[in-house]
Structure 1
Amino acid sequence: MSSLGMICMGMIKSAVKWFLIAFVVLIVLGVLFGGSDNQTTMEQTKSTTDTNIDTQPANTATQPAEPKMMSPTEEAEKAFDDTLITEDSVSEKDNTPDQNEIKSTDYDQLQLLYNSINENMGYNEVLAIVNSTNLPYSDVKYSEGRQIKVAFDKKVTPQKYAESGDYVSIHFDENPDNENEYIFSTLEYFNNDAFIKIFQYERGTYWSFRDSYEYKGLYINDFNSDYEFEITYDNGNKNTVNWIPAKTKEEQFEYIFTHLD
């Protein structure tokens, strides 16, 4: 090869070498400057976002959330739950004892006996209840019926010439269709300390009542009361007594308790 050819070949090699070096340098510079720009852009974006968050109104977090819409089933369940709560509350209020209500623990054994007997009971049923109390009693048969008298003290149980004291007395009329059967007539309880008698009249003869079925019910016999109660008989005759009508046995006992010394 001639000297000129060798020179030209050297120049070409040198040019290619520098071209490659320049190309590599450009690639490196592009990567460096391109990454820096991306980082700058990302930082600017983050800064803008932070700025937007900081500049939002302060009450955004405290604004109430929109109410959640309930399905008809959920609304029905909620209404049912509300009803249960209301009924429980009412129920609890109704069960709160009134100040004037007489509790069962306030009754003694004779008073409980008076409460346990009603006009639908026959003689044998009442006698079984009396025997279950283990209290002394007398049971006397008369020409037109029977009478059971129960007391705390045996000396109070005789139906004639008895000592004073609390007692329960149950009167039965003889059944006109069956002489061996007795029908409830009158139930009475006497409290010796208050000197008040309460009674339930159903039928037959009891003091001023003479088969006065229209007057059957509960009464309070307060011997010191000024209350006047007028009884009218079938023949037109009238009689005035101081018996106070009552609606319930609880009312009868409440009257006694409020008149105890």
Structure 2
Amino acid sequence: MKMKIRKNILKIVATGIATGLAFSVSCWSVAASDSTNEAKAEETQEYDALQKIFLEINKETTEDKLLKLIEEHSVEYTAEEYNGTPKSRNYNIAFDSDVVLQKYAESGDSLEVSFNKEDGTILYAEYFNEASFRNALYYNYGTYWDFREDELDNTYTGYYYYKPGDTKGGITMKYDNGNSKETGYHSVSRGEEALTLN
């Protein structure tokens, strides 16, 4: 009798182990399949010229590099200097000449890129998609709405997405004076995410 019970217990344990292994392999296959599908989705994502320019922008981007990208993608642009903090040169880039105007522009997909006028470093790049009414942002430093960092490559340097007017649900900005503010900016690790989660 004891022998029968022991055999049954061994069968149950063996069945449990086999079931557990089968379940683990199955879960791993599903996870691997999901990762593969995500990678394929990123590979098949097609970007328009403005989005391609946005994806080329990082903290090393210069005005010369931006002008080459504008020429390469055959898009319209205007450039104007502003007396902000720091003083800047802003490029408005779009498919249509009425959309690139610095003032009184028509509505449409656009990309604004701002550089420090003194040393040429990039301050930020903001892509606006009219159809989704969403923005993708690369922020480096300087004053940009709720962002107010003086140093390059700071805590907030990176990519974000947001909907204009949203002031909740994103990161909380912490300022040098001890104040903090919740924002609608959602931090992401890459430009592609800022565009696709947009």
TM normalised by structure 1 equals 0.55
How many Å separate the matches in 2 of 1:219 and 1:105? Answer: 19
Question: Do structure 1's residue 103 and structure 2's residue 46 form an aligned pair?
Answer: no
Q: Counterpart of 1:133?
A: 73
SS at match of 2:42: coil
Unaligned runs of 5+ in 1: 1-92, 176-180, 257-261
How far does residue 104 in structure 1 lie from its aligned partner after superposition? 6.0
C-alpha separation in 1, matches of 2:75 and 2:170: 35
Separation (CA, whole Å) in 1 of partners of 2:172 and 2:93: 30
State how far apart, in whole Å, the 2-side matches of 1:236 and 1:224 are.
24
Matched with 1:194 is 132
Determine helix, strand or coil for the equivalent of 1:103. helix
SS in 1 for 2:196: helix
Give the SS at the match of 1:119.
Answer: coil
Is the partner of 2:59 in helix, strand or coil?
coil
Of Structure 1 and Structure 2, the greater helix share is in 1
Matches within 5 A, 1:80-95: none
Q: Hey, what's the Cα distance between the residues in 2 that align with 1:224 and 1:234?
A: 24
CA contact (8 A) 2:129 2:135 kept: yes
Between the aligned partners of 2:130 and 2:63, the Cα distance in structure 1 is 26
Structure 2: which 5+ runs fail to align?
1-32
Using CA pairs below 8 Å that are at least 6 residues apart, which structure has the higher relative contact order?
A: 2
Say if 1:247 and 1:149 are closer, same or farther in 2 by CA, change over 3 A. Answer: same
**Structure 2 residue matching 1:127: 3-state secondary structure:** helix
Which residue, out of 27, 38, 62, partners 1:122? 62
- How high is the TM-score relative to the length of structure 2? 0.72
1:154 aligns with 2:97: yes
5 Å matches for 1:1-261?
A: 98=38, 101-103=41-43, 106-143=46-83, 144-175=87-118, 181-211=119-149, 213-223=154-164, 227-256=169-198
Residue aligned with 1:155, SS: coil
Partner of 1:55: none
Give, in whole Å, the separation in 1 of the partners of 2:44 and 2:127: 16
CA contact 1:102–1:254 (8 Å) conserved in 2 = no
